A and B are shown apart, each in its own frame.
Chain A
Amino acid sequence: MTYRIIDDGTYSEPVQQALEGVLVERLDEGDLEPTVRFWYRESPAVALGRFQAYEDEVAVDYADHRDIDIVRRLTGGGAMYVEPGAVITYSLYLPREAVPADIEASYAALDQWAIDALGSIGLEVSHEPLNDITHPDGKIGGSAQLRKDDAVVHHTTMSYALDTSEMLRVLRIGEETVSDKAIESAEKRVAVMRDHVDASREAIIAALKDTFAERFDAEPGSVPNEVISEARTRASETFATEEWNRKL
């Protein structure tokens, strides 16, 4: 099995989330090769878990004031605040037979190459069930999956140099119930790579690509234009609409 490594394309958050659906469907239909894709974003955003309540997770007035896109993902899991250049996000699009059937085992298995890649540059991280990647200092990232009949998308976002104070203003992490002390601990729970390794974001992405290519048969590729235009259509019909993003 040969994988495509896609490491280009800067898109808005609605288009990014739309691409996830289009790419996993193309693979499911046999029209795409197994792929790993690195994300480049246009602006700060919140990626909400599919089943999360919009108003519970986001400080809506603040996010609107800062012009932050709030986009509901196709995948479950928790809300992530993301900034271009300050997080690393990648997606794996895999045939279902290449993914362990057991969900918990599949998160561990699909995170492992990335954990090893980060280890190779001196970042001590590990998988924490169900879907977290943690550093001794706190959570550094998380993954989420969506399964189709014959394909799985597994996407992961990790903090490289995230502004965690801004994150706490944008996300309502237990806002109503927590004291200042609790907020301090919430902030502590998030670890950012740049505090622990002297490497640029580009160097970390290069290490991820190298480890992936060492472990699996992989060739550079790009997102087909037809897929991008389909994703743009779905973004304007769904992922950029209040109807989808505020449906819960």
Chain B
Amino acid sequence: MHDSATLKVPTGKLLEVEVTYDERVTDARVTGDFFLEPPESHAALEAALEGHTTDVSRTTLVEAIQDVDATCIGFDAEHLADATLEAIR
């Protein structure tokens, strides 16, 4: 299945998560008008959302996102986890 969710972060930034999944998330795409340092960490951030079963907990997702060596600017791991959960549920 393929679904997406868009989250307007209180900072004003927009976060969109697009996921392909069956029992597990096989592909994730994260787009929006946010910043990431270093920008090359974008691929790792997307990869952190993949491989989870669709009943993944918010805590697990948040931890997976926080494990990425990236500084998220304009959103945080919780926002990205929430948008991901909304897309897969």
Contact = CB atoms under 8 A, between A and B. Distances in A.
Given A56-B16, A76-B33, A51 B74 contact: no
Interface string A133-171: 000000000001111000000000000000000000000
Contacts of A145: 35
Contact of A52 (B11, B32, B36, B39): B32
A51 B38 contact: no
Nearest to B37: A147
Given A51-B30, A103-B73, A130-B11, A77 B39 contact: no
A152 B62 CA distance: 29
B52 interface: no
Nearest to B71: A103
B31 A248 contact: yes
Contacts of A77: 33-35
Which interface class (under 10, 10 to 19, 20 to 34, 35 or more) fits A?
20 to 34
Contact of A51 (B11, B12, B32, B71): B32
Nearest to A144: B35
Interface residues of chain A: helix, strand, loop or mixed (majority):
loop
Contacts of A78: 33
B73 A51 contact: no
Contact of B39 (A50, A53, A79, A129): A50
B79 interface: no
A95 interface: no
Contacts of A129: 11
Given A52-B31, A130-B73, A248-B31, A76 B36 contact: yes
Interface string A31-58: 0000000000000000001111100100
Contacts of B39: 50-51, 74-76, 146
Contacts of B13: 130
Contacts of B11: 129-130
A248 B16 CA distance: 11
A131 B12 CA distance: 10
A127 B20 CA distance: 39
Interface in B3-57: 11-13, 16, 29-39, 42
B88 to A, nearest CB: 19
A147 B71 CA distance: 11
Given A103-B73, A248-B31, A51 B37 contact: no
B73 A52 contact: no
A53 B33 CA distance: 9
A53 B42 CA distance: 13
A130 B36 contact: no
Contact of A75 (B12, B35, B42, B74): B35
Interface string A68-105: 00000011111100000000000000000000000100
Contacts of A144: 35
Given A77-B35, A130-B73, 6 more contacts: A51-B39, A77-B33, A103-B73, A147-B38, A248-B29, A248-B31
11 contacts: A51-B30, A51-B36, A52-B31, A53-B29, A75-B39, A76-B35, A103-B37, A130-B12, A130-B73, A130-B74, A145-B35
